[in-house]
Amino acid sequence: MGGDHAPHEIVAGAVHAVRERGLRVVLVGSPRVLYEALADHDATKEVPIVRAEEALSMDEGALASLRRPRSSIAIACHLVRRGDACAVVSAGSTAGIVATGRLRLKGQPGVLRPAIAVALPTRPTPALLVDAGANAEAKPEMLVQFAHLGAAYAELAHGITAPKVGLLTIGSEAEKGNKLVRRAHELLQSSPGIEFAGNVEGYDLLSGKVDVITTDGFTGNVALKTMEGAVRYAFSELREAIEESKLARLGAAMQRSRIRDLRRRLDAEAHGGAVLLGLNGTVVIAHGATRAPGISAACALATDLSAAEIVTAIGERIAASGRSHRLW
Amino acid sequence: MGGDHAPHEIVAGAVHAVRERGLRVVLVGSPRVLYEALADHDATKEVPIVRAEEALSMDEGALASLRRPRSSIAIACHLVRRGDACAVVSAGSTAGIVATGRLRLKGQPGVLRPAIAVALPTRPTPALLVDAGANAEAKPEMLVQFAHLGAAYAELAHGITAPKVGLLTIGSEAEKGNKLVRRAHELLQSSPGIEFAGNVEGYDLLSGKVDVITTDGFTGNVALKTMEGAVRYAFSELREAIEESKLARLGAAMQRSRIRDLRRRLDAEAHGGAVLLGLNGTVVIAHGATRAPGISAACALATDLSAAEIVTAIGERIAASGRSHRLW
């Protein structure tokens, strides 16, 4: 029920995931609304519906999750809690999803705070930005855990062994940055199980220098949105520059398909959205503007992560880091 | 003496500023080195040299400014202090420039902390990001002052009356963000002399939604470098996409000049660099990689800001805001 294009694009994405990817998808929300949307695809028999009479609106934040125990996101989390589903996918309000996830699925043992991981379009493998917005305030110990959450994701989803972890700050020297990152730097240097590559700067989000970038949710969210805005800006400026010239327009016509491919690759949708890590269950948060292809990709990502047992992998990492800490 | 391409590109930029812009430039540094560089342009008679035997290296940070009272940046600040120069331009280590500027020029009365303002390539007028990295830690009151510093700059340099100020955070609602920005939001709403447009997000750095974006130096620096990295990334990906196809290459040839123009406009250099605001004197910090054209532009920016008496304008704003605060 969540997302700028709900229910139709969400339902279309679910139908695509079922028909084209062979995934098993359950829709959670208003039966009438979802049934009608499924009917548009003659898919009423292919995709089961679980009733949820309420839904969080996009502008509802964290508190709504407490006010609405029967919201579609709450019910979806409940299905995972009960073992009737392996993961949740939502394009609803991020704050609402995070708060509901924490309330219904609970954080994994030893995890201080769940965090949002977003895959950035670096090559050959994506770089993971953690936390991309779940925790506006963070403690140094949390940044170490975010590194573990991201490393587990990078190992399972991107097949990277011993993922390189960078700490996002404003200079490469250890003493650069604010109190939070200076202390986090010390902790990361002495964290078993983390391949710490040192400080990274804003430039490095897309440079492919590291596999995981750990940061607090405030800095991470500002950086992520700045990146998206800058890429969009560069392309729109380019389009304008091209349209100013007839010759250039002709040239552009010749490369239109190339540019379309490129834009698609840079498009966050193609990466299936953000993942809320550290809960007793997998939750994929699709961008609010996501359309059917992105929802289908998010369903695939959710299935892959849960099949790879990312929750178990994170649990083991956190437990091991906890033990190593107690040794001191 | 500072910058990746010192002394030759710096000297070439100074010569350009003198010959093409009719500015009066004094070079501060090693007389022998600078004289030789000037000789390459037959400019030894056109650009005076002030002796400074020492210089901060690019990797020297804040402490170096204390260790080196005779560094070129320290002497340059001293010239402004004495009234022998109206402004300082340097492409040296930012940390070194900020520390030396605070030490030699001192902060203006009532200014809690000097801050770095960077002009972003929005249109029709640039948007100013303040603080872009001078203060890794900030208090809410500082963010209000950064807004005043940026507003004074926008009024004088960009001719904007009542510049719109945005607070950089992770959501448009007032309650979004961390403690720092939530408190800053309250203060900005009740700050006379500031046209507060509310919260802005990373997307808005280049959207032209506001004229001034206030943030702490940590977030601002991460956002700035993320933006630069993302724009560079988009262009390099585009180049690759184009080179993969012969037809597209032909098309690209047709638009090469357009793309070159665009890149130049997006290039930070064209904007003459960052400005350190809040000191008893104007200090322009050119990017370390700046070459002659950027240095020349930085000299023009420094001249314009000092001719517009930005120090006085900031002093009046801060004094007025101080008075209004005392009224409560």
User: For residue range B58-110, what is the model confidence (pLDDT) as tens digits?
Assistant: 777 677 777 788 999 999 999 999 999 999 999 998 889 999 999 999 999 99
Which of B170, B233, B266 lies at the smallest CB-CB distance from A221? B170
Interface contact flag, B255 A251, Cβ < 8 Å: yes
- The pairing of strands B212-214 and B127-130 is parallel
Interface contact flag, B229 A133, Cβ < 8 Å: no
Residues from chain B contacting residue A203 (CB–CB below 8 Å): 225-226, 228-229, 232
Confidence band for B262, pLDDT divided at 50, 70 and 90 = low
The answer for residues whose C-beta is within 8 angstroms of residue A165's C-beta and 6 or more apart is: A147, A150, A151, A188, A194, A195, A196, A197, A210, A211, A212, A213, A214
Q: In whole angstroms, what is the distance from residue A285 CA to residue A295 CA?
A: 10
Interface contact flag, A221 B202, Cβ < 8 Å: yes
Long-range pairs for B252-255 at CB < 8 Å and ≥24 separation?
B252/A251, B252/A255, B253/A251, B254/A245, B254/A247, B254/A248, B254/A250, B254/A251, B255/A241, B255/A242, B255/A245, B255/A247, B255/A248, B255/A251, B255/A252
Q: Tell whether A262 lies on the interface with B, counting CB pairs under 8 A.
A: yes
Q: Tell whether A63 lies on the interface with B, counting CB pairs under 8 A.
A: no
The domains of chain A are located at 1-106, 115-271+293-328
Per the CB < 8 A criterion, the answer to whether A139 and A145 are in contact is no
Interface contact flag, B223 A222, Cβ < 8 Å: yes
Q: Residues 132 to 151 of A: which have CB under 8 A from any B CB?
A: 133, 136-137
Output the pLDDT for position B326.
Answer: 47
* Per-residue confidence in pLDDT tens, chain A, 328 aa: 999 999 999 999 999 999 999 999 999 999 999 999 999 999 999 999 999 988 888 777 677 777 788 999 999 999 999 999 999 999 998 889 999 999 999 999 999 999 999 999 888 899 999 999 999 999 999 999 999 999 999 999 999 999 999 999 998 777 789 999 999 999 999 999 999 999 999 999 999 999 999 999 999 999 999 998 888 888 777 777 766 666 666 666 656 666 666 666 666 544 557 999 999 999 999 988 889 999 999 999 999 999 999 999 999 999 998 776 544 4
Question: Tokens at residue A234, please?
Answer: 């560069």
Q: Residues 202 to 221 of B: which have CB under 8 A from any A CB?
A: 202-207, 217-219, 221
Output the pLDDT for position B324.
Answer: 61
CATH domain B115-271+293-328 topology: Isopropylmalate Dehydrogenase (3.40.718)
Q: In whole angstroms, what is the distance from residue B61 CA to residue A170 CA?
A: 13
Neighbours of B327 (CB within 10 A): 6
Residues from chain B contacting residue A204 (CB–CB below 8 Å): 229
Residues from chain A contacting residue B176 (CB–CB below 8 Å): 136
Which residues is B165 bridged to in the sheet?
Answer: B196, B212
Q: Residues 264 to 283 of A: which have CB under 8 A from any B CB?
A: 265-266
